[in-house]
Amino acid sequence: MSLQQLKPDLIISSLALRAQITADTLGRKIGYEGRIHYMEELYNSRPETIMNVLTLQDDSYESIFVIGHNPELTEFANFLIKNNFSKLPTLGVLAINLKIDSWNDISEKCGKIDFFIQPKQFKYYMPKQIRTTLAKVFESEND
C-alpha cells in the first residue's frame, strides 16, 4: 500500500487489541500522520453499525480506512458492492470506491472494488529481495 502511496484521510479501528495493533502498524508503515480513532462500535458490530459510523464522518475526508473484524467487514463489503465477495482474510485489504458525494449518501451497492490484497499473494509474487527486507523489518519489530 505504501508503494502505491495510499494514505487515508482518516483511520478508524475496532478497539480490540489486535485491531489496534494492525491500525497502528499500518498507519506507521504508510506514513499516516493523523489520529487513529478506536471505536467500540466497530467491535462485534453489525454491518449496519459500520455504515452508521461512516455516515457520521465529515465530508472533508475523501478516503477512510476501516479496520475491524469478520464476518462483519465481509458482510459490509457485500452490502456496498454488486458482486458477492467471498471472504476478507485476516490482514486482507479491500479498497472500495464509493459513488457518493457525501458519507451520508452511503447506500446498498453504491461501491465498486478498486483492488484487493490478500497476504498469501506476497508469498508467491513478491521479489525475493523485498520478501527478505520485509522479513527483517517484521523480525525487528517483534523483538
CATH number assigned to the domain comprising residue 89? 3.40.50.1240
Residue with more model confidence, 125 or 77: 77
Q: Is 80 a member of any domain? A: yes
101 occurs within a structural domain: yes
Dihedral sign for Cα 90, 118, 131, 19, please. Answer: negative
Domain presence at residue 87: yes
Pairing of strands 10-14, 64-67: parallel
Q: What is the pLDDT of residues 55-65, one digit of tens each?
A: 999 999 999 99
Asked if residue 78 is part of any domain, the answer here is yes
Mean pLDDT on 95-121: 91
Cβ–Cβ under 8 Å, residues 41 and 67: no
The CA distance from 113 to 80, in Å, is: 9
The dihedrals phi and psi of 45, each to the nearest 5 degrees, come to -100, 155
Predicted TM-score (pTM) of the model is 0.81
Q: Residue 75: inside a domain, yes or no? A: yes
Q: Round to whole Å and give the CA distance between 84 and 17.
A: 29
For residue 104, the enclosing domain spans 10-118
Residue 105 domain flag: yes
**Residue 134 domain-assigned (yes or no):** no
Q: What are 6's three cell numbers?
A: 495510499
Buried-state track 61-86, b at ≥16 Cβ within 10 A, e below 16 = eeebbbbbbeebbbebbbbbbeeebe
71: cis peptide before it, omega within 30°?
Answer: yes
pLDDT higher than threshold 80 for residue 67: yes
Domain assignment present for 139: no
- Structural domain count of the chain: 1
Whether residue 15 has pLDDT greater than 90: yes
